[in-house]
Amino acid sequence: MSNILKELEKTLPRDVDITEIKFEGPEIILYTKNKDFFQNNESVIKEIVSALKKRIEVRPDLSITLDMEKTKKLIRKIVPEEAGIREIYFEPELGKVVIESQKPGMVIGKGGETYRRIKNETMWLPKIERAPAIESPIVRAVRNLLHQEMDYRKKFLNNIGQSINAIKPPENEKIDKWVRLSCLGSCREVGRSCFLLQTNESRVMLDCGVNVASDTFPYLDVPEFDIERLDAVVLSHPHLDHCGYIPWLYENGYKGPLYCTPPARDLMVLLCLDYIDIAHREGKEVPYMKRSIENVVKHTIALEYGEVSDLTPDMRLTLQPAGHLLGSALTHIHIGEGLHNILYTGDLHFGPSRLFDPAFTNFKRIETLITESTYGKIEDVKPNRKDAEDKLMAAIDKTMKAGGKVLIPSFAVGRAQEVMAILSANDFQYPVYMEGMVWDATAIHTAYPEYLSKYLQKQIFHFGKNPFLMDMFKRVAPKERNDVIDKAEPGVVIATSGMLVGGPAIEYLKAFAPDKKNTLLFVGYQAEGSLGRRIQKGWTEIPLRTEGGKTQTVNLSLNVETVEGMSGHSDRNQLTNFIHKLSCRPERIIMNHGEAKKCAELAKDAHKYFKAETIAPKNLDVIRLR
């Protein structure tokens, strides 16, 4: 037993009848037979948490819980019917009853009254989950898998907790404590984000993505990386250039934890499954199998924004909103007893959008900032959001009046939902067809509205106005694609992929290309080498594969337009403003996730603006931070 558990045992009252003390990742779990202690432990636990600096949860021993069927009936009696309970099931290994509801707030009740009544009358610990407003196979599959693997997860999480809280030998003050960062991807390029953070005690990976445009992966064959010694992986957000190679780690023997927010976990599953499906269809080599994506889920520790969690024996992790897409997070890591503090932004947006509030800035300490520079050149200043939205609607309305169709190639996650929210706000009157993962990604958004902007939360929770549930939005199955193409009336198609490197958007492009009344409308970043970038540069003849595998040349007669200012990334001004607004000034700023010139230029100017050490490293560089 670790020292921390021994200390905990000493501080507990003698009459609480604890039957088991376990780690659950960074948390400590107490199981008790004492009904009164289970029902009323807040003051005791608060005092212990303050002393030990650990999160603690009290759960019931099964011997005191109410019969499961009686519990279900009682819950349905206690909770108002308007709460829309979809499912009630049990996790006996954890002493929990899971209540999936369309309106979780009604299950909690005013001031938590309903929640406490369920807990006190059933002696189960309620776990409340939101049911997606649009049924989501991904959300359902993830929750089912976590439920089915509960026994494994309990053992796994306990092992992680034991590892984090392992008894340490006395420190030798003469030991030179160090922190260093290995750049394994996304340096002077966009794609395959991956960093390895190392200390004397820990090895933690920050993101592990793929470059979809060029099919390249992080440099994991370097001496610094040893999968056997990897302690943890932290995911900033679930775009493939940040998460697409994480299952490869589990395919090749990694059995440690992945930390991210709950929606990031679900969206990662969606995108990685699609990634290998596309690879199979295009005859490309698949870096991992579907079972490895399931392994990722089994080993995920989901954290809410602002939740401080022990990551390794000498690292503490906090995720905060990044404003980029659903569940995206700024990763703050506190190392040692004040030894060093790192903020890794992943992708961030520090400006207004329909979906999210701007990125969080109120950090107490940052010595090293690692930030993106996708739009890092001095001329990379985007139009304000209102102008961008006006241009988007003008391009669409012009095409509708001409009797044409608009194709918006879009990332399934983030940009598509932003366009949906804009169309909803403008009371768009034409059908909007969605194919690819767009519908599934939108369904996941309806399961996590608390991760949207405060404005949208108010619209959804208080006024019942959900922008994703408008009648204009139509889901299109692949077999229905030709029906949409052949329709005479105008409409909008939102389809993946966002850079036209595959997916159903390619088929719509083939069909829409000959007609001058149609419009191809770009609303997101087009990476160098992608088909989207080539079209933006003025290509009017493009090579595309046919279903038989041959290549055909397609002539583009349709209008091509790009709406700047719709990106989920910060532009140049927003990036510098984000650094300026941070509540503490970093000593070192590292630029990544941008083309080489943009990384270098932003690093040069940040040095001038902020009087900090700035670096625009290359892939395979290793930087000593401390």
Per-residue model confidence as pLDDT tens digits over 491-503: 999 998 888 887 8
Distances (CA, A) of 375 to 378, 381, 564: 8, 8, 11
Q: CB 441: neighbour CB atoms within 10 A?
A: 28
List the CATH code of the domain at 65-131.
3.30.300.20
Q: What is the pLDDT of residue 312?
A: 96
Listed in sequence order, the DSSP H helices in 402-540 are: 415-425, 438-447, 454-463, 481-486, 504-512, 531-536
Q: What is the pLDDT of residue 508?
A: 94
Instruction: Return residue ranges of the chain for CATH 3.40.50.10890.
Output: 385-562
Q: Where are the beta strands (DSSP E) in 313-451?
A: 315-321, 329-335, 340-344, 368-372, 405-409, 432-435
pLDDT class of 597 with cuts at 50, 70, 90: very high
Lowest mean pLDDT among 179-188, 208-217, 461-470, 540-549: 540-549
Q: Which carries the bigger pLDDT value, residue 174 or residue 479?
A: 479
Q: What is the pLDDT of residue 170?
A: 66
Mean pLDDT of the chain: 93
Q: What mean pLDDT comes out for the span 609-618?
A: 97
Instruction: Return residue ranges of the chain for CATH 3.30.300.20.
Output: 65-131
Q: How many CA atoms lie within 13 A of 450 on its CB side?
A: 12
Q: Do 264 and 296 touch, CB atoms closer than 8 A?
A: no
Q: What is the pLDDT of residue 612?
A: 96
Q: What mean pLDDT comes out for the span 273-295?
A: 91
pLDDT class of 622 with cuts at 50, 70, 90: very high
Q: Which carries the bigger pLDDT value, residue 175 or residue 472?
A: 472
Cα(375)–Cα(530) distance, rounded to whole angstroms? 17
Q: What is the pLDDT of residue 224?
A: 94
List the CATH code of the domain at 385-562.
3.40.50.10890
Q: How many CA atoms lie within 13 A of 69 on its CB side?
A: 0
pLDDT class of 173 with cuts at 50, 70, 90: low
Residue 27, pLDDT above cutoff 80: yes
pLDDT class of 174 with cuts at 50, 70, 90: low
Q: How many CA atoms lie within 13 A of 178 on its CB side?
A: 9
Give the angle subtended at the CA of 323 by the CAs of 317 and 324, to the nearest 5°.
95
Residue 172, pLDDT above cutoff 80: no
pLDDT class of 216 with cuts at 50, 70, 90: very high
Percent of the chain scoring above 90 in pLDDT? 81
Measure the CA dihedral 81/87/92/96, to 10°.
-50
Distances (CA, A) of 18 to 53, 122, 349: 20, 19, 47
pLDDT class of 411 with cuts at 50, 70, 90: confident
Give the angle subtended at the CA of 487 by the CAs of 484 and 491, to the nearest 5°.
70
Q: What is the pLDDT of residue 515?
A: 92
Q: What is the pLDDT of residue 139?
A: 96
Distances (CA, A) of 411 to 199, 250, 456, 516: 36, 25, 21, 25
Identity of residue 126: P
Instruction: Return residue ranges of the chain for CATH 3.60.15.10.
Output: 178-378+569-624
Residue 2, pLDDT above cutoff 80: no
Residue 605, pLDDT above cutoff 90: yes
Cα(236)–Cα(259) distance, rounded to whole angstroms? 9
Give 325-344 pLDDT, tens digit per residue: 999 999 999 999 999 999 99
**Pairing label, strands 18-24, 329-335:** unpaired
513 token code pair: 């290309």
The alpha carbon of residue 292 and the mean position of all alpha carbons in its chain are separated, in whole angstroms, by 18
Q: What is the pLDDT of residue 271?
A: 94
Residue 1, pLDDT above cutoff 60: no
Count the residues in the chain.
Answer: 626
List the CATH code of the domain at 178-378+569-624.
3.60.15.10
Cα(316)–Cα(336) distance, rounded to whole angstroms? 8
Residue 189, pLDDT above cutoff 90: yes
